[in-house]
Amino acid sequence: MTRRRPHRVLAAVCAAAVLALTPAAPAHADAIRDQQWALAALHTDRAWQTTKGAGITVAVLDTGVDGSHPDLQGQVLPGKDLVGFGATRGDSSWALHGTAMAGIIAGRGNGPGRADGVLGIAPEVRILPVRVILESKDPARAKARKTRGTALAEGIRWAADNGADVINLSLGDDSESAHPDPGEDSAIQYALSKGISVVASAGNGGEKGDRISYPAAYPGVIAVTAVDEYGTHASFSTRRWYATVSAPGVDIVVANPDGHYYIEWGTSAAAAFVSGAVALVRAAHPGLDPAQIKKLLADTARDAPAGGRDDARGYGMVDPAEAIEAGSRLRPGDLGAQAAPAGHREEYFGPGPTPPPADDAPVNWAAPLAGGLGAALLAAAVVLWRGRNAPGRY
């Protein structure tokens, strides 16, 4: 890949307000795939020789998912709306972030030979959408924060009871008031106890104090930091003790309900890639439990930091192909550790190995998901236009 991409994105950030409303010139059919550098970086060609995720369901707890998007048609199951108000289908603030995450996980392209559009890391998985938060520009977002503070915990339990094999949480609270919530923690432990892996974005606070982000910091969660196409830790990506692995989170092409494709960045995208990677491992080795899968991803990660691990990249870049291969040598129960060891839970909520900055002291209560998508993927600008494939109603 060339180095021109970061410069284009930088310019796009400055013009985002304009470009978000003004589609770029029509792109060639292969332009989107040409920019999906993450698929090659994650060695998907090797992983897909074994599986593309068939038989696995990934729950996307987010702002909703547009199942009618050409890249996702046939992949999205009936879901659950735990907010109950706010933007609806066709509104400019409906299902943007959730659709982007679903495309990263399970997109399968569109057009002749499905050669156009976004291809996900696990294009044969099913997406189970659970709406637990509203978009940042939704006028009802403030109301949702005040009245739907338990939506995330409820959504995790609902997904666990309705067929999810993997739960993707490309969201979080890394505000000054963020602290562990017993209901969310309990819901995650419930999902883990049912054999469901939980993946979360580590947070986008790397340039704003590296504050702890929840749900990434809960026990048993696979917390994901972001790297660029050169494997370098993204400066915005939070550095914390809970980081498990890293994944692509810079210059990521995503699908959008408005018929455009965007380039976006954030640990949300990284978490979505790892959710897809977990789905591939689950499809290849259905008997492995969440603790085994988490350790497997750590053990097989590429480009490990000096010493084997650090707070910026965890154990290194996730490698689903290596994890699948190594998983064939495991048996269910090979790992004696529990997903959340009893008697050791306090270590997950302490300062961790990296001393916190002075402004990291917790306060007494958190606004539910106050960071919202602050630990989520941040938009850069419209970069590609589907042209003839754009849904008519948008």
Over residues 230-248, the pLDDT tens digits come to 999 999 999 999 999 999 9
337 band by pLDDT with thresholds 50, 70 and 90: very low
Q: Is the pLDDT of residue 347 over 90?
A: no
**pTM of the predicted model as reported, rounded to 2 decimal places:** 0.83
Domain edges within the chain: 4-332+344-389
Provide CATH code, domain 4-332+344-389: 3.40.50.200
Over residues 369-379, the pLDDT tens digits come to 434 454 444 44
Over residues 182-236, the pLDDT tens digits come to 999 999 999 999 999 999 999 999 999 999 999 999 999 999 999 999 999 999 9
Over residues 98-136, the pLDDT tens digits come to 999 999 999 999 999 899 999 999 999 999 999 999 999
**Res 331: pLDDT:** 73
| DSSP secondary structure of 78-122 | --EESS--S--TTSTTSSHHHHHHHHHHH-EEESGGG-EEEE-SS
| DSSP secondary structure of 238-305 | ---TTEEEEEE-SSEEEE-TTSEEEEEESHHHHHHHHHHHHHHHHHH-TT--HHHHHHHHHHH-BSPP
Q: Which residues are marked as active site?
A: 62, 97, 268
